[in-house]
Chains A and B, each alone.
Chain A
Amino acid sequence: QVQLQESGPGLVTPSGTLSLTCGVSGGSISTSNWWSWVRQPPGKGLEWIGEIYHGGTATYNPSLKSRVTMSVARSKDQFSLRLNSVTAADTAVYYCARVSVAGIPFFDYWGQGTLVTVSS
């Protein structure tokens, strides 16, 4: 059973950079799956941030593309998210998730989520 676990600072100052890592256990990150980040502002809906393949190829939500960078550390079975120039609007629970390989993409495994607050 694949498990994902987010880690990183829970508080980021405005205009700073949000950095999170997702650890994958119970399986390897070097599979046919893509790996994604999804966020959810308090009391609001879900928003896809981007996805990355173990080879390093990444795709980002066009609305966030100018501020997002994702990377992968295959030897550690981890992938990471960096979001720069953050504002209070970036305050959210950030989830990492696995994209299923069963045809059309959807998320079959999710991390427990980590709350990141942007505040001075």
Chain B
Amino acid sequence: SYELTQPPSVSVSPGQTASITCSGDTLGNKYACWYLQKPGQSPVLVIYQDNKRPSGIPERFSGSKSGNTATLTISGTQAMDEADYYCQAWDSSTYYVFGTGTKVTVL
């Protein structure tokens, strides 16, 4: 089965930049999106189609992809950004696959 691998945890100081990676075979041929999930809450879409930001999502969230690795970058990280982050990809054979998830801690 298809897998997307993320680092289990990322720590960042307030105001600094956090980068979360998502790697998977042939991810370069798919679009990636990203969700944040705070404890006890539903996931919220923050990036779609690799680098597009939905309305209402702060500009400090950005996405990129190089080869088979997608990256979510949080610039000027705030305490409110502390959450679990999941990448997700889709194709017609594997359907929807989520990454393993990354816990972002703002120290």
Residues of A within 8 A of B (CB): 36, 38, 45-48, 51, 59, 61-63, 95, 100, 102-108, 110-113
Contact = CB atoms under 8 A, between A and B. Distances in A.
Contacts, number: 58
Nearest to B91: A104
B33 interface: yes
Contacts of A113: 42
Interface string B13-54: 000000000000000001101010000011111001100001
A117 B57 CA distance: 33
A38 B35 CA distance: 13
A64 to B, nearest CB: 11
Contact of A106 (B1, B42, B88, B100): B88
A63 B97 CA distance: 12
Interface residues of B, number: 23
B42 A112 contact: yes
Q: 7 closest Cβ contacts across the A-B interface? A: A48-B96, A110-B42, A104-B31, A46-B98, A106-B33, A45-B101, A105-B90
Interface of B: 1, 30-31, 33, 35, 41-45, 48-49, 54, 86, 88, 90, 95-101
B16 to A, nearest CB: 26
A45 B99 CA distance: 8
Contact of B95 (A59, A100, A112): A59
A59 B96 CA distance: 11
Given A104-B49, A106-B48, A108-B54, A45 B42 contact: no
Contact of A104 (B43, B44, B86, B90): B90
A108 B98 CA distance: 15
B28 to A, nearest CB: 14
Interface-centre pick from B30, B42, B49, B99 (highest chain A CB count, 10 A): B42
